[in-house]
């Protein structure tokens, strides 16, 4: 019989948090009176995260372990965990305890009211610099304006997803995955609960500004074609300005004769137009690169080994049944 609740947690070099995470989450879940499982995905950790997870599974079989063949990134690791979660309700959560497990009963209460997706929205973000808060807020505002899908602000992966919404999410095949957008795209009846996000329990985050920038690009290119449209408008605007300027030069020549053109103004114009063209090519390249990744149809992830996971689910593919990928050994 499948559990009522599945907790999905991707982990990368989280050895300092594994035991504390389990203690807090298991304490909350045991108090619910429901059957549960914790699906832990080791995303190519270089420390002893996997060893600790394997030990936890030996002590508590409700802890399931998926060991990916290498580091695929958090979005793919989260997808692997969601693919193998079997509960009636699924809650993704980070291992650093910034998202409090004590909020889980409130998420479940909303689910029992009939909501199929319950978002956990950050009321405050403790332990983060003002720069990170400002850039995150600017990104969510920009994405809200650029896409027709309403992606909740200040809402990470921490949320409850019902089984119908989970099955719909697993039908989305793209490899460049911006999970926050995919959670919103599937729709269903949604509710929101608010919480104060805590600082990390231990360790140092691997999400530097470069990785956050790339995640933002994934979000924008996955859910909006506005950047492509902008360059069309910009090109039309520059062409219109060039037409008016050419008309001005023709009229000036007709009335005042020919004068010597300025070398500096010509160089500035050439460099400006060249820069605009290169930026436009860069935007096209971002979209083409993602198309290139999609058409190769590689599995999203490969599993090296698993503990407590059924053998009926293959590695990441394009549909619920999966592709003809190598199956994970079950232990």
Which CATH number does the domain housing residue 60 bear? 3.90.550.10
Place of tokens 């805590």: 198
Q: Is residue 67 part of a domain?
A: yes
- What is the pLDDT averaged over residues 19-33? 86
Q: Is residue 41 part of a domain?
A: yes
Give the mean pLDDT of the chain. Answer: 75
* More confident of the two residues 217 and 28: 28
Identify the domain containing residue 248 by its residue range. Answer: 226-295
Question: For residues 214 and 176, is the Cβ–Cβ distance under 8 A?
Answer: no
Same domain, 102 and 152: yes
pLDDT 10s digits, 281-328 = 777 777 777 777 777 777 888 888 888 876 434 455 433 333 333 334
Quick check: helix, strand or coil at residue 92? strand
Q: Is residue 324 part of a domain?
A: no
Q: How far apart are the first and last CA of the chain?
A: 19
Question: Taking the CB of residue 45, how many other CB atoms lie within 10 A of it?
Answer: 20
Same domain, 220 and 235: no
Same domain, 247 and 208: no
Same domain, 233 and 112: no
Same domain, 89 and 144: yes
Same domain, 277 and 149: no
Kindly tell me if the per-residue pLDDT of 34 is higher than 70.
Answer: yes
In this prediction, residue 21 carries a pLDDT of: 87
Q: For residue 113, what pLDDT band results from cuts at 50, 70 and 90? A: confident
pLDDT 10s digits, 192-212 = 888 877 765 455 555 555 566
Reported pTM: 0.66
Same domain, 192 and 241: no
Q: Is residue 317 part of a domain?
A: no
What token pair was written down for 202?
């231990």
Handedness of CA 119, 21, 52, 5 (dihedral sign): negative
């Amino acid at each position: 019989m499948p559990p009522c609740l599945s907790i999905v947690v991707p982990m990368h070099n989280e050895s300092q948090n594994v035991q504390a995470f389990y203690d807090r989450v298991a304490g909350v879940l045991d108090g619910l009176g429901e059957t549960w499982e914790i699906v832990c995905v080791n995303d190519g950790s270089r420390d002893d995260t996997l060893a600790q997870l394997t030990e936890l599974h030996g002590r508590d079989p409700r802890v399931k372990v998926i060991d990916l063949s290498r580091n695929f990134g958090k979005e793919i690791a989260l997808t692997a965990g969601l693919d193998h979660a079997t509960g009636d309700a699924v809650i993704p959560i980070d291992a650093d305890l910034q998202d409090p497990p004590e909020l889980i009963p409130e998420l479940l209460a909303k689910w029992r009211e009939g909501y199929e997706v319950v978002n956990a929205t950050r009321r405050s973000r403790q332990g983060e610099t003002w720069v990170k808060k400002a850039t995150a807020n600017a990104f969510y505002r920009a994405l809200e304006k650029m896409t027709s899908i309403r992606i909740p602000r200040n809402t990470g992966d921490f949320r409850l997803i019902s089984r119908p919404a989970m099955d719909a999410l697993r039908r989305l095949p793209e490899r460049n995955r911006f999970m926050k957008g995919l959670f919103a795209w599937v729709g269903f009846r949604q509710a929101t609960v608010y919480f104060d996000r805590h600082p990390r329990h231990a360790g140092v985050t691997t999400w530097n500004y470069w990785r956050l920038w790339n995640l933002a690009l994934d979000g924008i290119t996955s859910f909006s074609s506005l950047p492509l449209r902008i360059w069309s408008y910009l090109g039309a605007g520059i062409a219109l300005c060039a037409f008016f300027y050419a008309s001005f030069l023709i009229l000036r020549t007709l009335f005042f004769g020919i004068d010597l053109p300025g070398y500096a103004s010509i160089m500035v114009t050439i460099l400006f137009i060249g820069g605009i063209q290169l930026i436009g090519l860069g935007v096209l390249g971002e979209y083409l690169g993602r198309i290139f990744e999609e058409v190769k149809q590689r599995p999203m992830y490969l599993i090296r080994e698993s503990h407590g996971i059924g053998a009926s689910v293959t590695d990441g593919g394009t549909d619920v049944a999966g592709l003809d990928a190598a199956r994970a050994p079950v232990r």
